[in-house]
Amino acid sequence: MKDVAITGGGVIDGDRVFDPTGEERMRGPHAIAFTDCRHFTIRDVSIVDAANYAIYFQVSDDVDVRNVKIIGGWDGVHFRGVPAQWCRNVNIVGCQFYTGDDSIAGRYWDNVVISQCVVNSSCNGIRLIGPATHLIVDHCLFYGPGQQPHRSSNRTNMLSGINLQPGAWDQCPGLLDDVLLSNNTMKNVASPLTLWAKPGNPVGRVTVSGLEATGIYHSAVALESWSDAPITNVVLRGVTVEFNGGGTAEDVKRQVRGPGVDVRPLPAWGLYARNVEQLTLEDVRFALAKDDLRPVATVGSVQRLTLDNFRFTHSPGVTEPLVTTNVGKINLWQTDLISPR
């Protein structure tokens, strides 16, 4: 099917349908679902209280979702390709998400742009559960807590702003590469960025260029490879993040195990990096709302670490603010402490 459009100022109301025979003994039908389509446009509509995903599509190309408002339900836009046929050329622009589950999720994406969206969720803002290439997330606002409660747990706290976790749910081999997260704003999320690599899911270049985040309440920026292959290259540039703090000396001793599906506490309050070839922090500022006895960063098995104008809050009693293990080469310029409050 090709050349399909759903447009106008109308409302698609899922009426909060519950199906005791559905997934989680409660999910009903998706509000909009399509497979193997080309040139599909959804524009200027609202989708309210979908019984499952508001928009769900598979192995479809040239999809444009624009000026759509999604309230309630589970995932807002969820799209999946397969290893032999990725979803290509997808634009999600100017949309508003107030979702009970992940606002945008899926896997096997190529040439995807998510731009100028408002993202409010009681789960993750963007959750990538498989490979993707040429992904841009630009000028979006992510904030919690969720206005719509999570359907199955009734909680409202927002998890990661952006969670890139190929292979976390099930095996889906393929590359994550050429990711640009630019000029985004976040408030009251568990972690601004979570990046996990597992066997079968190599990660190339990921760039964060311009991020303002406050009220980060649960976990540091996490950049972790749990396979033999390291993450190739991560750049954080022009990033300012304020973490809530409050970590204790016992938290420093926390044993880090392989990730599950959601963020977890870590032994550093600002950055946790594991198994990365090149890691660059340029014009990065990490601040604390209250003291934290963990180091600002724990960096392990990194071949080249560059810190250029990296500034951070130093809490009294922290004797080793930057912990490095098995780091090959460190380039350090203009890195200093922010005075305690």
Interval 206-261: pLDDT, tens: 999 999 999 999 999 999 999 999 999 999 999 999 999 999 999 999 899 999 89
Nearest to 158 by CA among 96, 98, 78, 68: 98
- Identify the CATH number of the domain in which residue 265 sits: 2.160.20
35 and 68 Cβ atoms separated by less than 8 Å: no
Query: Assign residue 111 a region: left if phi > 0, alpha if psi is -120 to 50, beta otherwise?
Result: left
pLDDT at position 341 is 40
pLDDT digit string (tens) for 4-32? 999 988 999 998 888 888 788 888 899 99
Structural domain including 274 reads: 2-338
Question: What are the φ and ψ backbone dihedral angles of 24, each rounded to 5 degrees?
Answer: 60, 20
Tell me if the bond preceding 202 is cis, omega within 30° of 0. Answer: no
Integer Cα distance of 221 and 218 in angstroms: 10
277: region left, alpha or beta (phi > 0 left; psi from -120 to 50 alpha): alpha
Q: Is the pLDDT of residue 282 over 90?
A: yes
The arithmetic mean of pLDDT across residues 318-338, rounded, is 85
pLDDT for res 333: 83
What is the share, in percent, of the chain residues with pLDDT greater than 70?
A: 98
- Predicted local confidence at residue 68, as pLDDT: 98
d(CA 275, CA 224): 6
Which helix (H) or strand (E) covers residue 36, if one does?
A: none
Number of domains in the chain: 1
Contact yes or no for 312/286 (Cβ under 8 A): yes
Q: Collect all residues with Cβ–Cβ distance below 8 Å to 299 and sequence separation of at least 6.
A: 271, 273, 279, 305, 322, 323, 324, 325, 327
Reported in sequence order, the residue ranges of 95-175 that DSSP labels E, i.e. its strands, are 96-99, 104-107, 109-115, 118-121, 126-128, 132-138, 141-143, 162-164
Q: When comparing pLDDT for 105 and 20, which is higher?
A: 105
Stated pTM of the model: 0.96
> Residue 339 — pLDDT band, cuts 50, 70, 90?
very low
CA 137 – CA 160 distance, rounded (Å): 14
The residue type found at 26 is M
Residue 45 corresponds to which amino acid? V
- Residue 336 confidence (pLDDT): 65
